Amino acid sequence: MKIVVIGGTGLIGSKVIRNLRARGHAVVAASPASGVDTITGEGLIEALTGANVVIDLANSPSFEDAAVLEFFETAGRNLLAAEIAAGVRHHVALSVVGTERLAESGYFRGKIAQEKLIRESGVPYTIVHSTQFFEFLGGITQSGSDGQTIRLSPAFFQPIASDDVAAAVADFAAGEPRNGIAEIAGPERVRLAGMVRRFLLATHDSRKVIEDPHARYFGAKLQDDTLVPGANPRLGAMKFEAWFAHTQSAQ
Where do contacts with ligand NAP occur on this chain (CB under 6 A)?
6-13, 31-33, 36-39, 57-59, 61, 75, 94-96, 111, 130, 132-133, 136
**What's the min distance (Å) between Cβ of 220 and ligand NAP?**
14
E runs forming strands in 61-179: 90-96, 125-130, 145-146, 149-152, 156-157
Q: Are 150 and 211 in contact (CB under 8 A)?
A: no
Which of 18, 208 has the CB closer to ligand NAP? 18
**What's the min distance (Å) between Cβ of 80 and ligand NAP?**
13
Angstrom CA distances, 159 to 64, 105, 134, 189, stand at: 24, 19, 6, 8
Which of 130, 141 has the CB closer to ligand NAP? 130
Which of 90, 111 has the CB closer to ligand NAP? 111
Which of 36, 123 has the CB closer to ligand NAP? 36
**What's the min distance (Å) between Cβ of 142 and ligand NAP?**
13
- Burial pattern 29-56, b for ≥16 Cβ within 10 A else e, equals bbbbeeebbbeebebbeebbeebbbbbb
Query: Around 251, how many Cα atoms within 13 Å sit in the side-chain half-sphere?
Result: 6
**What's the min distance (Å) between Cβ of 45 and ligand NAP?**
14
